Structure 1
Amino acid sequence: MPRLVHDRITWLAYAQLGLWGFFLYGFGPVVPLLRDEQGTSAAVAGLHSTGLAVGALAGGALFAPAARRFGRKPTIWLGLAGVAAGVGAFSLLRPLPATLAVVILISTAGTLLVSGVNVVLTARHGPVAPAALAEANAACAGMGILAPLAIGLSVNAGWGWRPAMAVVVALIALVALAALAFRVRGPKTATAVAAPRVTVVVPRSGRRLPRAYWIAWVLMGVTGSIEVCLSLWTADVLRSHAGMAPGAASAAVAAIVCGMFVGRLAGGRVALRFRPVPLLLTALSVSLAGFTVFWVATAGWLAVAGLVVLGLGNALHYPLAISLALAVAGDAADQAAGWSAYSMGVGFGIAPVALGWVADGVGPHLAFLLLPGFIATAVLLAVRLGRALPAPAPVEQPATAPV
């Protein structure tokens, strides 16, 4: 069985992605509080989520040229610096146009960070990259559990949400100082290993991405749609169908993130033993089972249990899809990472609006039946992706390539 080696560069990548997770999962609880401050409607406040999608598109366009110009690791630090500056401004500014603009900036910088971490871990770990990416996203989800708790404590103490959100600036500075203190720079070249149990030859001329990449690209958009719809609309279903109080329903959304955290920790080890596509199909089946329990439950505790199972399944959707996408991209990994942000941006920008539009007509509980449709679509795409991948071949003698 291949082994995942946790060197300093790997731990640093985990920490960097965790910093993004603190902002991303803390952002959801902040939007309603910001709406109250600004005196806007829910629809207008929701433009901040649209800002995240716009920033993801911008970051996706910028990553490949930035990585070519500065290198992958400096691009990650550039992204973190942008997140720190943006969160600092977000914690100070109050007018709606200013907060919308700052959210776009944060999302752009965050996409540079996420794309860079994905490529660095894929290049560094090759056949075991799915395990590394699962663990990195576990760190992201773990910080995502802490962020809402910090915001809640800050609000209850009468300080508002801003000091808690600003914590991420201090954490970014702390990680940067730790990287300097431990001299985590990385070698100029690193061992380039084969993709996760797939052998792919990508023509260097024109840097064309293969058909398997674009299947994985659509798959990321579909599974991203599942995650963002759950993040934005689950509390409404818990209130309207499971009879939970508004505060308890909002807090219960953390059950999904808890499930994702546990699923990604365990999934990192499971990914060392099983091929990515069958594992992805299993994860989608777990998601469907968890959704079924959540959707039919009329008792709050049972609905929350379904959400935990749903999070366990969702945990591996993105890590496996992005690892396959970057694996089949070959020497066009930077370009592939940039384009992957477009997929997530499209999913995040369209799916919540579509579900909200349906919910206006039939209610949030019935509207949530769109999610099994997303899961079924993801299953079909995963099967098609498995057929499009080249047959596995033994890993050849490693060569050297830049990280």
Structure 2
Amino acid sequence: MPRLSRDLATWLIYLQLGLWGYFNYGFGPIVPLLRAEQGTSAAVAGLHSTAIAVGAVAGGALYPHLSRRFGRGPVLWACQAVIAASVLGYVLLPAYFAVTIGLTILVATAGIAAIGGIVSALSERHGPAGPAAISEANAVACAAGLAAPLIIGGAIRAGLGWRAGLALLVALIALVAVIAKIKGVRIPSGLPAPAPVPVLAGSGARAPLDATAGPVAAGREQPAEVAEPRARGERRPLPPAYWLAWGMMTVTGAVEVVLSMWTAEVLRDQVGLSAGAATAVMSAIVGGMFVGRLAGARIALRLPSIPLYLGALVLSLAGFTVFWGAGSAVVAVAGLVIVGLGNAMHYPLAISLAVAAAPGQADRAAGVASYSMAVSFGAGPLLLGLVADQVGAHTAFLFIPLLIAGAAFLAWRFATTTRTPLTPALATDLA
């Protein structure tokens, strides 16, 4: 069983993802409030999600080039500076639609670029324990995200407005930077390229590394061949297995962002909560994700990724069913907690499988993975907003079970394509 060793650099990476988590989970509940200030429709307000998609494309495209030129550490700190400056823009500038859209693109570009560096650094630094490290990092992000809606909702109820709650992020970024400077902690630039990767005998296809059980067995009856090294500088295409994991991230990412941006409105319309209370209750999802990722980090060290991913999808669907049919705030909150428990492991498992499916290309795989976020943020909320304008957000939420079913199909295809074990007993370590 792989072991996870946490040094100061790992904790710094965790905190940097936590800073992004504060914005990411705090901004979703703010969108309906911006919609009210700007007097726009649900579909137009959903363009803030499209702006995040644009930023995700930009961040994913820029990160591999920036990291090669400047190194991961300087790029990650630059991303934190851009996030802080963008947040100040939300706080100090007029809330015109063009202004908030532009700021959203800017902060998303920095945030998604930072995620690329965080994922690749943790994957390379911790090897087989990478999924557990990524899960823990996302648990830290959830902890920050758990606080964000509560703080922003509390600021609204206190009459200070949502900007006061969001402004706290600037102080947190400065605090983490000061601590890192005092402690002299530096973000690692990565490890040497891994050893040659096994391929499926006679197929020419690479067998990706299972994120929890070492390299995945291509078949016990056939010996593995060794891939021929590529010429220096030659760019290998990302394998088909990578794109299946990419699709898993896209679909479950849409589930998460749709819930983040429209659950507060459903709570107001369906259960009768006030704007401040509905914003604060959004912490139920993030709280479930926090607990789920802490527990999932331990489980991911013992179980293969695919069955864990499928179990998480089932849990998300069960929680959504409880939430969607809720007639009271208590039942709705219970459903959201269960949804959060399920959603907790969607991204950590999918991104781990994606990076493992592209050995020796961690930075590129993580950068291209951000495009899945672009699709999630761009298409999901906008489509739901268009439907919600016609039938209401509550009915439009029935889009979510379809997304969960799509993610399950892609996970099944990943398992059958790569022959990833579906039960722990089938996990074979070729190392």
One-letter identity of the residue aligned with 2:351: I
In the TM superposition, residue 42 of structure 1 has moved relative to its aligned partner by 4.3
2:429 aligns with: 394
2:92 is aligned with 1:113: no
Determine which of 286, 290, 294 is the counterpart of 2:315: 286
CA deviation map 1:130-188 (0-9, x unaligned) = 11111111111110111122223333343333232222122111111211211112566
Determine which of 250, 253, 256 is the counterpart of 1:224: 253
CA gap 1:345/1:203 in 2 versus in 1, 3 angstroms: farther
One-letter identity of the residue aligned with 1:64: P
2:219 aligns with: none
One-letter identity of the residue aligned with 1:63: Y
- Write out aligned runs for 1:209-358 (5 A): 209-242=238-271, 244=273, 247-358=276-387
CA gap 1:131/1:192 in 2 versus in 1, 3 angstroms: farther
More off after superposition, 21-30 vs 274-283: 21-30
1:155 aligns with: 156
- Report if aligned partners of 2:149, 2:282 keep a CA contact under 8 Å in 1: no
More off after superposition, 131-140 vs 89-98: 89-98
SS of residue matched to 1:206:
coil
In the TM superposition, residue 214 of structure 1 has moved relative to its aligned partner by 0.3
2:30 is aligned with 1:14: no
Determine which of 383, 387, 397 is the counterpart of 2:412: 383
Query: How far apart in 2 are the matches of 1:216 and 1:274?
Result: 18
More off after superposition, 126-135 vs 251-260: 251-260
1:137 aligns with: 138
Q: In angstroms, what is the RMSD of aligned CA positions? A: 2.3
CA gap 1:137/1:341 in 2 versus in 1, 3 angstroms: same
CA deviation map 1:326-379 (0-9, x unaligned) = 111111111111111111111111111222223333333332222111111111
How many residue pairs are counted as aligned between the two chains?
396
2:60 aligns with: 60
One-letter identity of the residue aligned with 1:133: I
One-letter identity of the residue aligned with 2:47: L
- Report if aligned partners of 2:9, 2:187 keep a CA contact under 8 Å in 1: yes
CA deviation map 1:256-302 (0-9, x unaligned) = 11111111111111111111111101111111111122222323312
CA gap 1:38/1:203 in 2 versus in 1, 3 angstroms: farther
2:200 is aligned with 1:199: no
- Report if aligned partners of 2:355, 2:365 keep a CA contact under 8 Å in 1: yes
1:32 aligns with: 32
1:46 aligns with: 46
One-letter identity of the residue aligned with 2:91: S
Please, what TM-score do these two structures have when normalized by structure 2? 0.85
Query: How far apart in 2 are the matches of 1:38 and 1:281?
Result: 40
CA gap 1:384/1:74 in 2 versus in 1, 3 angstroms: same
CA gap 1:44/1:181 in 2 versus in 1, 3 angstroms: same
- Report if aligned partners of 2:323, 2:332 keep a CA contact under 8 Å in 1: yes
CA gap 1:328/1:202 in 2 versus in 1, 3 angstroms: farther
1:173 aligns with: 174
In the TM superposition, residue 246 of structure 1 has moved relative to its aligned partner by 5.0
One-letter identity of the residue aligned with 2:90: F
- Report if aligned partners of 1:124, 1:192 keep a CA contact under 8 Å in 2: no
Query: How far apart in 2 are the matches of 1:113 and 1:188?
Result: 13
- Report if aligned partners of 1:208, 1:332 keep a CA contact under 8 Å in 2: no
One-letter identity of the residue aligned with 2:170: V
Please, what TM-score do these two structures have when normalized by structure 1? 0.91
1:363 aligns with: 392
One-letter identity of the residue aligned with 1:119: S
- Report if aligned partners of 1:126, 1:192 keep a CA contact under 8 Å in 2: no
1:399 aligns with: none
Query: How far apart in 2 are the matches of 1:164 and 1:310?
Result: 25
CA deviation map 1:170-214 (0-9, x unaligned) = 211111121121111256664777842343869643221111100
CA deviation map 1:38-95 (0-9, x unaligned) = 4544444433222111111110111111111112222211211211122122221113
More off after superposition, 310-319 vs 79-88: 79-88
Percent of aligned positions that are identical? 56
Query: How far apart in 2 are the matches of 1:365 and 1:157?
Result: 29
- Report if aligned partners of 2:46, 2:381 keep a CA contact under 8 Å in 1: no
Query: How far apart in 1 are the matches of 2:67 and 2:182?
Result: 24
Give unpaired runs (5+ residues) of structure 2.
196-208, 217-226, 421-426
2:82 aligns with: 82
